[in-house]
A and B are shown apart, each in its own frame.
Chain A
Amino acid sequence: MSPSSAHSVVEPGRWSRRVAAVIVVAYALITMIPLLWIFLTGLKTPPDSISYPPKLLFTPSLEGYCNLFTTRSRQTTEYLDSLPPAASVCDDIARKRNMVIAGPSNFVPRFVNSLIIAFGSTALSVLLGAAAAYGFSRFKVPLKDDLMFFILSTRMMPPIAVAIPIYLMYRELGLSDTKLGMILLYTAVNVSLAVWLLKGFIDEIPREYEEAAMIDGYTRLQAIFRVVLPQATTGIVATAIFCLIFAWNEYAFAVLLTSGEAQTAPPFIPIIIGEGGQDWPAVAAGTTIVLIPILVFTIVLRKHLLRGITFGAVRK
């Protein structure tokens, strides 16, 4: 609003605006400190990370990232002296701690699992969700409200309570600790969000568009693919990102139902142990890598966040 515009009685005054800005910015900066600390800790050496008082200025090191991606073993000085010069930065860092790199850690496979499971379950949930949402939006379905409530209520169940029978069922079916099992489970959780969100988006597309297309000789399916889906692209992308974020962040099911083969990054990061306790720089490095995609997605989604967190009910 430009200062020359007409004075409105409901416009807050200049000072009240300034005070509001100061408080909100202060809050935002304070809540960012833990995230900044995660990022900084990832660039510290283990001794720097546990120094007292906590260090704000330090020499950045890649040790956290090296420790995240490798496993190392301690060696005698004689053995270390007999080795050829260090081949990589990480090798060099390990040698300074009297260690050699023994091999890659499990982080990359866990990260890949996270990617496969998140994208797999997202694709399935959006596919199923879009179809169901269209059905609920356009057709008269018996017991529509009850079905919609049933679909939503499945998402609100305590994950541990759901995990008990799923654990038994997956054991019987041989789905324990498999990516397929996790994809199906996450799809079941996400499909409810997808149906609710997409129904909202499809409701906003006027029926007249498809009806016009059908009068022009399209079948219902052709009208859906050529008229409705292109109109719903934004909604589908936003829904997909919400599903991705859930699957990417999920921990409870992952920690109870997977142990190796299908384990994702969230249950893996907390168990990164160094010598004599948790290797905080490595944990921070892993945390940073897992958080960055979410940060990007949050910024991309900012206009749709409100919709996503209220299952499509509040639209602004």
Chain B
Amino acid sequence: MNDASHDPSLIERAAAATPAGVSRRVRGLSDRAIAWIFIAPTILLLLAINIFPLIWTIWLSFTNYRANRPNAPIRDIGTDNYHAILTDPDIWAAMQATAHFVVWTILLQTLIGFGLAWLINRKFRGHGLWTTVILIPMMLSPAVVGNFWKFLFEPQIGLFNYATAFVARVDPSSFEMLGSVKLAPWSIVIVDTWMWTPYVMLICLAGLRSIPDYLYEAAEVDRASSWRQFWSITLPLALPFIMLAVLFRAIENFRMFDMVNLLTSGGPGSTTELASITLKREAFEKWRTGFSSAFAIILFVTVFGLANIYVKALNRVKQR
């Protein structure tokens, strides 16, 4: 852009060169001042409530501090906490439980969500209304609704057990979704899938709608089979959107706490004890603040890495 009046850097330089008093008299506050006055409060709030505590956590992670003994002397123990975490079988069990949860929920939600989006995209009569109905579960409080699923999963009296038993022709008291070591990890997968499939569906739907019609028209002219069209047009063009949904669900489920805490609180034993639940136990029940801070930092770094990829994916989708 050659037009000087539209070059923002020139305007900024001019604004910066103008003495503050003069510019205030001329145009009120200078743009630069306004920019900072507008942005600074948000940054300051985040520094106070996110960054300062984060730095504190990093410091605590190198100590043996226990929050229930605020007056005990704090000893610097170097990287002992990190060593302890990486060799702790309980932590590894939690990471495995988390991996099981994340992988299966994402797999199921992507398959069902994409399938639904693909069907809704046929634009049958009333598809808008039914899309809104399908979206409802994801907006609800995971804690409040997750808590209610405990009731649905009750052996005998629970609706889920009753319905499953009816369909599968078995005795409804013959299995316990939340009480058995084998089924509990699947019950949290079921509830999460019920809640969050709509999320994946909505993003996939946006992806499918972003595919221009002329590609399919051209494919028809070339007599490409609908199978071929799906694999060469639909899937590749919807893929960035699917990836976006997958990444976001991965981040959310990696840090999952509320629904699972109410549904199983990690039990039976520690079969559904996800990373966040272990962290809560260490920090707020065993009060090993130093140890749990180190674990928190490890989780932070993981999420930060995932978030970085997520933002890149967002920007890619945005360009479409």
A residues with CB within 8 A of B: 1, 8-10, 12, 16-18, 20-21, 23-25, 27-28, 31-35, 37-38, 41, 50-54, 128-129, 131-132, 134-136, 138-141, 147, 149-154, 156-169, 171, 184-185, 187-188, 191-192, 195, 214, 219-222, 245, 248-252, 255-256, 265-267, 269-270, 278, 280, 283-284, 286-287, 290-291, 294-295, 297-299, 302, 305-306, 309-311, 313-314, 316
Q: Which residue of A lies closest to B49 (CB)?
A: A188
B141/A140 in contact, CB under 8 A = no
Residues of B within 8 A of A161 (CB): 57, 255, 276, 279, 295-297, 299-300
B206 and A314 form a contact (CB under 8 A): yes
| B314 with A269: CB separation less than 8 A | no
Contacts of B225 in A (CB 8 A): none
Closest B-chain residue to A249, C-beta based? Answer: B141
| Across-interface contacts of A291 in B (CB, < 8 A) | 140-141, 144-145
Q: Tell whether, in the assembled complex, residue A219 and residue B28 are in contact, meaning their CB atoms are under 8 Å apart.
A: yes
A249–B140 touching, CB < 8 Å: yes
Measured in the bound complex, the distance between the Cα atoms of B216 and A151 in whole Å is 40
**Which residues 103-125 of B sit at the A interface, judged by CB distance below 8 A?**
112, 116, 119-120, 122-125
Note all chain A residues with C-beta closer than 8 A to B127.
21, 24
**Across the interface, do B307 and A160 meet the contact criterion of CB distance under 8 Å?**
no
Residue in contact with A156 in the complex, picked from B199, B251, B283, B289, CB distance below 8 Å? B251
CA distance A157 to B8 in the complex (A): 35
- Asked if B132 is an interface residue, CB under 8 A from chain A, the answer is yes
- Chain B interface residues toward A at CB < 8 A: 8-9, 12, 27-29, 31-32, 34-39, 41-43, 45-46, 48-50, 52-54, 56-57, 60, 67, 112, 116, 119-120, 122-127, 130-145, 147-149, 151-152, 154, 156-159, 162, 172, 194, 199, 202-203, 206, 209, 213, 216-217, 220, 241, 244, 248, 251, 254-255, 257-258, 261-262, 275-276, 279-280, 283-284, 289, 292-293, 295-297, 299-300, 303-304, 306-308, 310-311, 314-315, 317-318
Chain B residues whose CB sits within 8 angstroms of the CB of A248 once the complex forms: 141
A248 to B140, CA, bound (A): 9
How far is the CB of B27 from the nearest CB of chain A, in Å?
A: 6
How far is A28 from B130 in the complex, measured between Cα atoms in Å?
Answer: 7
B217 CB, nearest partner CB in chain A, Å = 6
A28 CB to nearest B CB, Å: 5
Contacts of A23 in B (CB 8 A): 116, 119
Question: CB-CB < 8 A to B132: which residues of A?
Answer: 298-299, 302
Top 10 A-B residue pairs of the complex, sorted by shortest distance between their CB atoms: A165-B53, A251-B143, A219-B28, A161-B296, A249-B141, A158-B255, A135-B38, A188-B49, A139-B35, A21-B124
A287→B145 contact, CB < 8 A? yes
Picked from A34, A41, A149, A187, the residue with its CB within 8 Å of the CB of B45 is: A187
Report A-chain residues with C-beta under 8 Å of the C-beta of B296.
158, 160-161, 164
Compute how far the CA of A252 lies from the CA of B212 in the bound complex, rounded to whole angstroms.
Answer: 43
A217 to chain B, nearest CB (A): 10
Residues of B close to A53: CB separation below 8 A: 162, 172
Show 27 residue pairs from A and B whose CB-CB distance is below 8 angstroms, ordered by the A residue: A24-B120, A24-B127, A28-B134, A34-B152, A54-B158, A134-B38, A136-B39, A151-B46, A152-B311, A158-B303, A159-B255, A159-B276, A160-B255, A164-B283, A164-B293, A168-B67, A188-B46, A249-B140, A249-B141, A251-B141, A251-B144, A251-B257, A287-B145, A294-B139, A298-B132, A309-B203, A316-B206
Question: Main secondary structure on chain B at its contact with chain A?
Answer: helix
B122 touches A16 (CB 8 A): yes
Chain A residues, CB < 8 A from B261: 251-252, 255
Q: Which residues of A contact B157 (CB under 8 A)?
A: 50-52, 54
| B144 and A162 contacting across the interface, CB-CB below 8 Å | no
- In the bound complex, residues from chain A placing their C-beta under 8 Å from that of B138 are 309
Is the Cβ of B49 less than 8 Å from the Cβ of A311?
A: no
Contacts of B318 in A (CB 8 A): 313-314
Question: Is the CB–CB distance between B143 and A31 below 8 Å?
Answer: no
Q: How far is the CA of A31 from the CA of B131 in the complex (A)?
A: 12
Known: A152-B307, A152-B311, A298-B132. A251 touches B142 (CB 8 A): yes
The one of A131, A149, A256, A269 that contacts B284, using a Cβ cutoff of 8 Å: A256
On chain B, the residues within 8 Å of A265 by CB distance are 144
Give Cα A38 to B160, complex, Å.
13
Given A135-B34, A188-B49, A249-B141, the answer on whether A24 and B202 have CB atoms closer than 8 Å is no
